[in-house]
C-alpha cells in the first residue's frame, strides 16, 4: 500500500487522484491521506505568512515522520532548496503551463476597459500585467479556484488571472475567456507540473514512481527552478520562467525564457543550452537578468 499525502483542496485532491490512478494502473494499491497546510488555513498574503513552503511543509513533515509514502505537490509551490531525506521521485507529464483570464462577459485581456478590477495573488502576474500599460487596477486575492472565479460571477471583480493547469485538472476550461501568451505574461517556474516527493531511501516507492517520470519535463522545470534559485527568490517573487526542450540541428536543445519584475518595469531575456545541464542554463540566464537590472 502506498500512502499518498495531499492537501485537502479540490485542485490538490484532483492532482493526487491523477497520480493515484497512474499508480493503480500499474498494479499498486494507493490510499489518499488528506493533510492541512498553513497555506490552506491562513488567508493572509503569501509573502506575509512565509511564501515559499506554506503549502508543502506539513506534507514534508508527514513524509519524514513516515506517516505517508509520497506527497503530490504543485511544483511551483515547492521550495527550490532541497529537503534533507527527501527527493523528487517523479515529475510526470506537464499540463499547459500558461496563465489564463476568467473575465466577465467573455472579455479578453485587451477588451477589458481602463480601470477594470483584476484579481491575482501573484506579484509575478502583477508586475507583468502592469508592464503592459493597459491601465488595469490589480488587487490581491487568496482562496481556491471556486472562490476566485466567484468574485467575477458575483460582480466583485471584472476578471481574475489563474493557472490554466488548475482549471484543466478540475475540468473547468470552459470558463476561460483567454489563454495569455507567454510573450505577455510568463508563468511561474514549474507551473503546470507536478512534483511527487518521497523519502530518498525508499527504494520500493522510487521504483513504483519511475514509470510516471517525463524526462523532458524534468529538464525544463529544473532550468526554470534553477533560475529562481539563482535569483534567490521565493515562489511569491516577481519571477516568470518557461523552458522547453526543442529539436535543434544537432539534437535536442533547451530553451529558457525568464522575466524579472523590478522598479520601473519587467526585464525579459532568453537563453539556450544543453539538455544535459539544465541548471547551467538557468544559472546563466539568472545572472544575465541580474546584470541588466
Q: What's the pLDDT tens digit per position in 125-137?
A: 999 999 999 999 9
Which pLDDT value is given to residue 293?
64
Residue ranges of the chain that CATH labels 3.40.190.10: 2-92+193-213, 99-179
Helix (H) or strand (E) holding 15: helix 10-25
Fold observed for domain 221-291 = Double Stranded RNA Binding Domain (3.30.160)
**Domain 2-92+193-213 CATH (choose: 1.20.210.10, 3.60.21.10, 2.30.40.10, 3.40.190.10):** 3.40.190.10
Distance (Å, rounded) from C-alpha 90 to C-alpha 71? 11
Distance (Å, rounded) from C-alpha 101 to C-alpha 248? 33
Is 276 an active-site residue? no
Task: Supply 49's cell numbers.
Answer: 505568512
Which pLDDT value is given to residue 292?
79
Task: Supply 230's cell numbers.
Answer: 539563482
Helix (H) or strand (E) holding 147: helix 145-153
Which pLDDT value is given to residue 224?
98
Task: Supply 251's cell numbers.
Answer: 539534437
- 285 close to 271: Cβ distance less than 8 angstroms: yes
CA distances in angstroms from 258 to 119, 128, 183, 228, 272, listed in the order given: 23, 12, 10, 9, 11
Question: According to the CATH classification, is domain 99-179 in 3.40.190.10?
Answer: yes
- List the beta bridge partners of residue 197: 71, 88
Q: Which residues of the chain have pLDDT under 50?
A: 40-51
Set 77, 99, 158, 202: catalytic member: 77
Task: Supply 94's cell numbers.
Answer: 506537464
Residue ranges of the chain that CATH labels 3.30.160.40: 221-291
Q: Specify the 3-state DSSP secondary structure of 114.
A: coil
**pTM, 2 dp:** 0.90
Amino acid at each position: 500500500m502506498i500512502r499518498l499525502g495531499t492537501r485537502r483542496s479540490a485542485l490538490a485532491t484532483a492532482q493526487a487522484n491523477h497520480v493515484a490512478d497512474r499508480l493503480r494502473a500499474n498494479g499498486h494499491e494507493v490510499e489518499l491521506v488528506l493533510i492541512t497546510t498553513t497555506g490552506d488555513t491562513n488567508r493572509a498574503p503569501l509573502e506575509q505568512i512565509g511564501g515559499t513552503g506554506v503549502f508543502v511543509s506539513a506534507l514534508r513533515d508527514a513524509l519524514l515522520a513516515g506517516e505517508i509514502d509520497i506527497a503530490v505537490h504543485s511544483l511551483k509551490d515547492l521550495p527550490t532548496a532541497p529537503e534533507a531525506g527527501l527527493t523528487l521521485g517523479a515529475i510526470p507529464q506537464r499540463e499547459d503551463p500558461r496563465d489564463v483570464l476568467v473575465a466577465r462577459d467573455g472579455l479578453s485581456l485587451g477588451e477589458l476597459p481602463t480601470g477594470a478590477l483584476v484579481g491575482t495573488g501573484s506579484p509575478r502576474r502583477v508586475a507583468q500585467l502592469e508592464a503592459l500599460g493597459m491601465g488595469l487596477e490589480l488587487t490581491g486575492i487568496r482562496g481556491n479556484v471556486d472562490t476566485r472565479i466567484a468574485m467575477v460571477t458575483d460582480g466583485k471583480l471584472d476578471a481574475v488571472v489563474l493557472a490554466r493547469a488548475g482549471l484543466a485538472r478540475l475540468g473547468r476550461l470552459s470558463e476561460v475567456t483567454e489563454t495569455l501568451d507567454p510573450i505577455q505574461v510568463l508563468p511561474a517556474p514549474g507551473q503546470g507540473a507536478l512534483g511527487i516527493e518521497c523519502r530518498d531511501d525508499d527504494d520500493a516507492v522510487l521504483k513504483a514512481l519511475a514509470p510516471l517520470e517525463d524526462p523532458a519535463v524534468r529538464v525544463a522545470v529544473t532550468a526554470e527552478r534553477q533560475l529562481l534559485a539563482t535569483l534567490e527568490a521565493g515562489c511569491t517573487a516577481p519571477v516568470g520562467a518557461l523552458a522547453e526542450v526543442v529539436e535543434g540541428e544537432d539534437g535536442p536543445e533547451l530553451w529558457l525564457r525568464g522575466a524579472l519584475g523590478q522598479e520601473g518595469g519587467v526585464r525579459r531575456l532568453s537563453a539556450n543550452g544543453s539538455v544535459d545541464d539544465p541548471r547551467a542554463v538557468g544559472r546563466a540566464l539568472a545572472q544575465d537578468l541580474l546584470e541588466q537590472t
